[in-house]
Amino acid sequence: MNESHIKIVTVNRKARHEYFIEDEFEAGISLLGTEVKSLRMGRANLKDAYGRIHQGEVYVYQMHIGQYPFAHHGNHDPLRPRKLLLHKYEIKRLYGKVNEKGYALVPLKVYFKRGKVKITLALARGKRKHDKREAIRQKDQKRELDRIKKGKEE
């Protein structure tokens, strides 16, 4: 995939710390005009966002898209639920997995791809406290190894 056509709007940095990412799905997202304009300005936040399947359709909740400052009337609600555009077989697969214990739908990033707004949705399992500690320990060990390698190269 050519990365030059992708402009990242926002990334959910906390998601990879809080969850084990099992699988990722790229989805379109149904938006209003003022929402798209706000996204182009970078006014979005995925901090507390989550996905849910309701009546055979996938929605993302608590995704904050700031109001467009130049709209005089007809502005959008920043936290409204937004419908995600996925294939039926992807929705069925997600539905089967989400009904298993411990799985959740977590948005990872929002970006523009060839002028269209896309969202990366992850099928994730929550980490326990000891899992988070282990991940931090491994990251520190990797950083220490990289520091040692860098010192030997010079």
CATH assignment of the domain containing 82: 2.40.280.10
Would you say residue 131 lies in a domain?
no
In this predicted structure, what is the pLDDT of residue 28? 92
Would you say residue 66 lies in a domain?
yes
CB 123 within 8 A of CB 25: yes
pLDDT tens for 85-112 read 989 998 888 888 888 777 888 999 999 9
Of 33 and 61, which is predicted with more confidence? 61
CA 31 – CA 110 distance, rounded (Å): 12
C-alpha distances in angstroms, 129 versus 107, 124, 138, 143?
A: 21, 16, 15, 21
Would you call 9 exposed, middle or buried from its count of C-beta atoms within 10 A (0-12, 13-18, 19+)? buried
Residue 119 pLDDT class (50, 70, 90 cuts): very high
Would you say residue 148 lies in a domain?
no
CB neighbours of residue 55 within 10 Å: 5
Would you say residue 44 lies in a domain?
yes
Would you say residue 87 lies in a domain?
yes
For the chain, the average pLDDT equals: 84
pLDDT tens for 39-62 read 888 888 888 888 888 888 989 999
Would you call 5 exposed, middle or buried from its count of C-beta atoms within 10 A (0-12, 13-18, 19+)? exposed
CA 66 – CA 61 distance, rounded (Å): 14
In this predicted structure, what is the pLDDT of residue 2? 57
In this predicted structure, what is the pLDDT of residue 154? 62
Would you say residue 52 lies in a domain?
yes
In this predicted structure, what is the pLDDT of residue 77? 77
Would you say residue 137 lies in a domain?
no
In this predicted structure, what is the pLDDT of residue 35? 84
In this predicted structure, what is the pLDDT of residue 5? 80
Q: How many domains does the chain contain in total?
A: 1
CA 68 – CA 84 distance, rounded (Å): 21
Query: 97 phi and psi, to 5 degrees?
Result: -75, -40
Would you say residue 115 lies in a domain?
yes
CA 15 – CA 126 distance, rounded (Å): 9
Residue 115: which domain range? 3-126
Rounded average pLDDT over 125-131: 76
